[in-house]
Amino acid sequence: MAWLALVMFAAVCLALLLGYPVAMTLGGTALTFALVGQLAGGFDGGIMGTLAPELYDVATADTLVAVPLFVFMGLVLERCRIAEDLLETMARLFGPVRGGLGVSVVVVGMLMAASTGIIGATVVTMGLLSLPTMLRRGYDPAVAAGTICASGTLGQIIPPSIILVLLGQVVSAAHQQAQRAQGNYAPDPVSVGDLFLGALFPGLLLVALFAGYLLLLAVRRPEAVPALPIAERQALQGRALVGRVTRALMPPLVLIILVLGAIMAGVATPTQAASVGAIGALALAGLRRELSRSRLEEACRSTVQITAMVFLILMAATLFAIVFKGFGGDRLVHDLLTALPGGAGTAMALVMLVMFGLGFILDFIEITYVVVPIVGPVLLAMGIDPVWLGIMIAVNLQTSFLTPPFGFALFYLRGVAPESLPTSAIYRGVMPFIAIQLGLLVLMALWPALVTWLPSQIQA
């Protein structure tokens, strides 16, 4: 009956491809297979008794309180036109340089990623704000589309983001499970802050590589990434430009540094830092006189909707995981991975390949709460570092969400791009950025210290 667990997983993927809601698909498929298995005599219904306590643990997890706070922080910054002002200002700053507008999109994408971590929101916002400007100023359509899509996916890896918060909780639980299976009942904890630290260097390196590619393109194909027109460059210069950059860049940058710095220094937990970020975003919007009642209500409503969606998926994924284990699917996956030749390296490569494919049909939340609890304990029991595993998964899925023809980021941009921009141009534009991210994955695989060095130094 263990193979029935894999059939159940395949059924979920098929239902999602047909367009059914994620949470309903996970929960409904799990209950259906549990009923069929019990009627066939191959499923112990007693395991369902663990559902209530596990759902209670999900609902009361302190770490997950950071999710609505980080979402609210990002939505306030977005609704109050801070991103729009920041993008326009950075474009003026980098305007005299060929490719400068593209670099400004990458920088603003990085800052938005650090404040929201929601790929859809970042890609849509950057598409609405940046794409018309880039096309109007002579950018190659493929380059413009690729830059926006790649910048929008930075929310996977730039801390502090809700994606790393969710992944940190799951990796921590998988680490504890793997250690208990080996007889260690007091393992060193793995926190969300550890994942933030591990993601910092790879994230900043990825931003630098994106910007470096655009500047290299400016040398090889200067007509594809022109500088701003002379009239726009002269419109704001000297002290006026410095003042505008300071007003637009410093407040959100200081807010992000305070939030991230408090977590890294151990002064605050991710939840506490997220609350500081939410209050700071309100204060920043108020100082800019952009915080109207309608915008605040819209941010609050969107926060509730996103948070409810996240927690509903978490609960459905918990039910799915219980039924999967009830069929013995976890033991089957363990046997399959441990029987592979090449040990942990081959198992890790296979899991990364499967997750890359699943990224075409499943969102990060589903993969985090359905797939990682299944394969995570097996890989960690093989001696793989939990922080390195978490960041490898994050970058791998970031690449998947950017890859044609099914990448989520491509769909988001296609939804807001003008009809004059062909889909083929979007596909062509993301190819160099996919190559960069694959290169980063290889670099992290060959040099794990890129991820693990900073957490080890802070812990020491």
Residue 352: which pLDDT band, with cuts at 50, 70 and 90?
very high
pLDDT, tens digit, for every residue of 8-28?
888 988 887 787 887 888 889
Residue 305: which pLDDT band, with cuts at 50, 70 and 90?
confident
User: Is a pLDDT exceeding 90 seen at residue 389?
Assistant: yes
How many CB atoms within 10 Å of residue 425?
A: 18
Count of the separate structural domains present in the chain: 1
Per-residue confidence (pLDDT) for residue 116, from 0 to 100 = 59
pLDDT, tens digit, for every residue of 32-55?
998 888 888 777 777 888 888 888
Assess contact for 370 and 321: CB atoms under 8 A: yes
Per-residue confidence (pLDDT) for residue 230, from 0 to 100 = 66
Rounded mean pLDDT of the chain?
84
User: Is a pLDDT exceeding 90 seen at residue 193?
Assistant: no
User: Is a pLDDT exceeding 60 seen at residue 233?
Assistant: no
User: Is a pLDDT exceeding 90 seen at residue 370?
Assistant: no
User: Is a pLDDT exceeding 90 seen at residue 291?
Assistant: no
Residue 273: which pLDDT band, with cuts at 50, 70 and 90?
confident
pLDDT, tens digit, for every residue of 90-100?
777 776 788 88
Per-residue confidence (pLDDT) for residue 335, from 0 to 100 = 87
Residue 402: which pLDDT band, with cuts at 50, 70 and 90?
confident
**In sequence order, which residues have a C-beta less than 8 Å from that of residue 85 and are 6 or more positions away?**
248
Of all residues in the chain, what percent carry a pLDDT higher than 70?
A: 95
* Domain carrying residue 380: 2-459
Residue found under tokens 């200081």: 254
Q: What is the DSSP string of 252-321?
A: HHHHHHHHHHHHHTTSS-HHHHHHHHHHHHHHHHHHTT---HHHHHHHHHHHHHHHHHHHHHHHHHHHHH
pLDDT, tens digit, for every residue of 218-229?
999 988 888 877
Distances (CA, A) of 120 to 117, 148, 156: 9, 12, 11
Whether pTM exceeds 0.95: no
**In sequence order, which residues have a C-beta less than 8 Å from that of residue 208 and are 6 or more positions away?**
none
User: Is a pLDDT exceeding 60 seen at residue 453?
Assistant: yes
Q: Residue 242: which of 84, 82, 93 has the closest Cα?
A: 93
Lowest mean pLDDT across 159-163, 332-336, 447-451: 159-163
What mean pLDDT is predicted for residues 260-289? Answer: 83
The residue among 246 and 131 whose pLDDT is bigger is 131
Residue 334: which pLDDT band, with cuts at 50, 70 and 90?
confident
